[in-house]
């Protein structure tokens, strides 16, 4: 009995026991803070890149759909691919855009724009579908949508920000606008030979 009383009065190891309870909570808080910062930073980059490239569409300086660009092997070949590469180059946090999907659509009126979900990249990957790239003409109503599936830093600690089955979080940026009444290259220079001829 005396041994139990002496053991109960001892204060050795009190700090170690407190540390066992506090340290995991502290590290969970630290990792959660880093993860939230990483998500916010990536979201800001996706929105900024979308905004810059949507502005190019708005003023008539976007890559034209369906045109075959004379590019080196490994570079973009069509308007959709070039627009995709332009969005990707704005994401300085990653050089790999395997988790990026882009859509540029034209609508007759703002009321015609559907409230549908965007198909982000899946296991099959993103296909450069020229039908999803319609930068339109002057005064057209355009919706630019970009989706980036962000791989979360530590999905088992903290806020568990992953929302997809594969452990990624979809960051979607949308710009809806009416194109400016810009002049085409032919209108600027009537002597210009039509590109299709």
In a domain? residue 50: yes
78 part of a folded domain: yes
64 φ, ψ to 5°? -80, 140
Assess contact for 151 and 168: CB atoms under 8 A. yes
- Does 6 map to a domain? no
Instruction: Classify residue 35: in a domain, yes or no.
Output: yes
- Full residue range of the structural domain in which residue 41 is found: 14-188
Residue 195 inside a domain? The answer is no
CA angle 108, 136, 185 (to 5 degrees): 140
- 194 is a domain residue: no
pLDDT, residue 61, reads: 85
- State the residue for tokens 């039509």: 194
How many domains does one find in the chain? 1
Residue 126 maps to a domain: yes
Q: What is the pLDDT along the chain (197 residues), one digit of tens a residue?
A: 677 677 666 666 566 677 778 888 888 888 888 888 888 999 999 999 999 999 999 998 888 876 666 656 667 777 888 888 889 988 887 767 888 889 999 999 999 999 988 878 765 655 666 678 899 888 999 999 999 988 877 766 545 666 777 778 889 999 999 999 987 656 666 665 554 44
Q: What is the pLDDT of residue 197?
A: 41
The pLDDT of residue 180 is: 92
Q: Where does the chain have alpha helices with state H?
A: 2-9, 14-58, 79-89, 185-188
Q: Is 197 inside a domain boundary?
A: no
């Amino acid at each position: 009995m005396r041994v139990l009383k002496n053991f109960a009065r001892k204060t050795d190891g009190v700090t170690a026991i407190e540390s066992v309870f506090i340290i995991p909570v502290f590290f969970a808080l630290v990792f959660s803070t880093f993860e939230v910062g990483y998500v916010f930073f990536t979201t800001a980059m996706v929105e900024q890149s979308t905004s810059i490239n949507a502005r190019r569409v708005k003023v008539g300086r976007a890559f034209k759909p369906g045109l075959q660009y004379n590019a080196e092997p490994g570079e973009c070949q069509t308007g959709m691919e070039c627009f995709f590469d332009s969005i990707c180059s704005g994401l300085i946090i990653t050089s790999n855009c395997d988790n990026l999907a882009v859509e540029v659509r034209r609508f007759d009126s703002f009321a015609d724009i559907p409230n549908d979900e965007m198909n982000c990249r899946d296991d099959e990957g993103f296909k450069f579908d020229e039908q999803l790239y319609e930068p339109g003409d002057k005064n057209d109503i355009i919706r630019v949508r970009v989706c980036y599936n962000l791989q979360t830093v530590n999905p088992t600690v903290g806020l568990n920000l992953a929302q997809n089955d594969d452990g990624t979080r979809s960051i979607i940026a949308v710009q809806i606008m009416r194109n400016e009444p810009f002049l085409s290259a032919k209108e600027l220079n009537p002597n210009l030979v039509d590109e299709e001829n």
